[in-house]
Homo-oligomer: A and B are copies of this chain.
Amino acid sequence: MPVSEPIITLTTDFGMSDAYVGEMKGVILNHCPGARLVDISHQIPPQDVLSGSIVLERILRVFPAGTIHIVVVDPGVGTSRRLLVGQANDQWIFVPDNGLITWAWHRIGNIRVQELLFRPVKTPSWTFHGRDILAPAAALLASGQGESVPTIRLDRPVLLNVAPAGSLDEAQVIHIDHFGNVITNVPVELLSNDTYVLGVGPIRNTYSDVKIGEPLALIGSSGLLEIAVRNQHAASQLNLTVGSKIQFRQS
C-alpha cells in the first residue's frame, strides 16, 4: 500500500434495486480514482450478519495481498456500535463491529482489529455509514492517505454466537446456498472415513456419487461438511434451515 490500482471489494445486503451500492462506488472513486471495484454480493439476506461473515471468510482466502474488503450488513447503523478495520491474510477489512468478522476470526485467525475513528468533515448521515464513513475511509487508505484514517487498538471485536464445531456434537447448519446446498459448521478435520450423517449417509466425493434426487454428504469447497441432494434443493427436501442440528453415527 498504496498501489496504483488497488482492489476494493463490496459485499452488502443492499440488493440492487436502489442507488445505495452505486453511491458507495461513486464515493470510493471520488476518493481513490484508480480503485478497481469488485462486486462480491449485494444479495446478503437483509440484516443477516452471519451470512455476510461467511462470505467474508471465503473471499479472504483467495484475494491478493493488499485487497480491501468493505462489508456492510448493518442493522445497528446509527447506534453506538463501533466500526472496525481488520487485517487478515495481508488484506484489509472495513466493517461494522457487529459480528461480521466472526467466521474469519475463527477460521483464518491472526486477525488484527482496530476501531475506526475516521469521520468525514461533513456530518455523516445517521442511516448510511457504508457510504459516509466506511467507503471514504477505505478509499483514503487505498489511495495512500492512510494517515488521515485514524484508528485505535481494540481488545476484541464483537463475535456472533456461532463457531466452527469443535466436535461432532456441535454440528449445525450455518448456511443454505443458492442451489439449496446445506453448509454446516463441521470442518474437514472432524471427518473420517467412518463418519456417517444420520438420514444422509457416508461422506462422498461429489454429487455424482449418488443418483439424481438422492441425498449425500460431502466436503464442500471451503472445507466444511455439506449436505446436498443431487441436482435438487437439499434444504427443502431435507427440511433443514440455518441452526438445524446435524447428527452422526460413528460406526
Nearest B residue to A7 by beta-carbon distance?
A: B29
How many copies altogether?
3
Given contacts A46-B178, A231-B75, contact A19 B64 (CB under 8 A): no
A64 to B29, CA, bound (A): 7
Tell me the chain A residues, 1-46 only, with Cβ under 8 Å from chain B: 7, 9, 11, 14-23, 25-27, 29-30, 33, 37-46
Residue pair A22, B9 in contact (C-beta under 8 Å) = yes
Residue pair B78, A46 in contact (C-beta under 8 Å) = no
Tell me the chain A residues, 86-140 only, with Cβ under 8 Å from chain B: 125-128, 131-132
Residue pair B47, A22 in contact (C-beta under 8 Å) = no
* Chain B: minimal CB distance from A42 (Å): 7
Interface assignment of A192: CB less than 8 Å from any CB of chain B: no
A235 to B30, CA, bound (A): 33
Residue pair B17, A45 in contact (C-beta under 8 Å) = yes
A219 to B123, CA, bound (A): 13
Residue of A19, A26, A45, A54 contacting most chain B CB atoms (<10 Å): A19
A132 to B75, CA, bound (A): 35
Q: Which of B7, B11, B26, B55 contacts A62 (CB 8 A)?
A: B26
Interface assignment of A251: CB less than 8 Å from any CB of chain B: no
Residue pair A59, B178 in contact (C-beta under 8 Å) = no
**One of A152-160, A166-174, A202-210 contacting the partner:** A202-210
Nearest 6 A-B pairs (CB), nearest first? A78-B206, A26-B62, A15-B178, A22-B40, A128-B221, A126-B206
17 contacts between A and B (CB under 8 A): A15-B43, A15-B178, A17-B43, A18-B177, A21-B39, A22-B55, A22-B59, A25-B40, A29-B67, A30-B62, A62-B131, A76-B208, A78-B209, A79-B208, A125-B220, A131-B221, A132-B221
Which A residues fall within an 8 A CB radius of B?
Answer: 7, 9, 11, 14-23, 25-27, 29-30, 33, 37-47, 51, 54-55, 58-59, 61-64, 67, 75-79, 125-128, 131-132, 175, 177-179, 205-209, 218-222, 226, 231
